[in-house]
Structure 1
């Protein structure tokens, strides 16, 4: 059974906090198929990962810690993208003028596919990144067409490998990124039992089958070089089976899975109830 957690806001919707508490409540396996952070705004997190010659973010690290299976962040997150601000105007490689894509980690250590780095060849990487990561065999991309080719070759197999693992789990929590409605197209929609749409102050609960049908008919929006379905567009076609208030949490509460699980208990009850109706 798969529980999908998505966000109605592109930034700071509260998905990871909600997912951490849900992992504590259910003992599920946790996954975040795509993640990213910013070399400027998340510099401390970048330094922590790079110090070990790795590339991951705090969201994946929080989920891995909450899962309690001694998992690495990379195990549940096959694609991590590192950005940086471009105040003078970026290259536009991924359709953004205010920030620029630097490098992606694609794949998971310990799997047959291994790990590939894909770098933006139109910008100079900061020395801290170039020195920390093994980039001798990194794949350079200069255009969207270049990126689309490598996506088919490397990204899609990594996502398919992850989807196969998720579908064998007794219970899995899958967290999306930004306000993207379905973070893993390779995942069988029939396997998604229920969906929590999280935003500051509330969670809306949907049956998985109805949510996935709405994803099929919702319009797509350009994002990072290709089209993706956004949560607000999908929810226009649906009425939730429940709306549950999420109380605000202090910094201690947001960092403690047990406290999140207690505070968000009504929302988790509603989500699990929707999943059992499948």
Structure 2
């Protein structure tokens, strides 16, 4: 038995969108389902004992769709006979035909809507089934990420946060962040900056790293700090009694002779002997 014996039910101002669950409450005499999200009252057809019903001021908010100059959505509002209820008013000069609502929009707006109202009889009760259907519209623009000319692009909704790409790696450089210009510009804050209503390009900016070149003359050390791919300054030729200096090598014995006119600083510290 349980709920089937309920005669009065007030469920107004909730988030109810489907009234199928009420169809088994066949002893209901009084029902208030106003201020919900109900678009179809056909399941209430089984409530033959109703004498009072309230079902006004529904608010149905559809899932957002991408903004286009022409928007068409189906009208899904159904009465007790499951017939489509024609809109009462339509925002923004929309038109209704073939159970669909169409808008021609010259510029972006965040939503369009229409209202409905129909007097329906449920059991022995008669009342207005009314409300508003809102269709949120979202705008997407392209966010392009440029890493030294290599680009990736994603579509991002205006007013939302961009997803930060993986940190790019560039040999000999430290990544400084994503900026709105190739050089200079403003650093993008992925926790606060939101997508504007236009396409954007963000550039990966890097700073060059410096590395240490150590010169070892039989344990006597001197050093130079050199930018990545920079040329080392050749030190004065060391002297050693009874020996002829052959050059600077990358190993204590053997190894490869360093060419100060062509060899560039690698992305690491080095020692020359």
Give 1 or 2: higher strand fraction: 2
Task: Compute the TM-score of the two structures, normalised by the length of structure 2.
Answer: 0.22
Larger relative helix fraction: 1
Give the structure with higher Rg (CA): 2
Higher-RCO chain (CA-CA 8 Å, sequence separation at least 6): 1
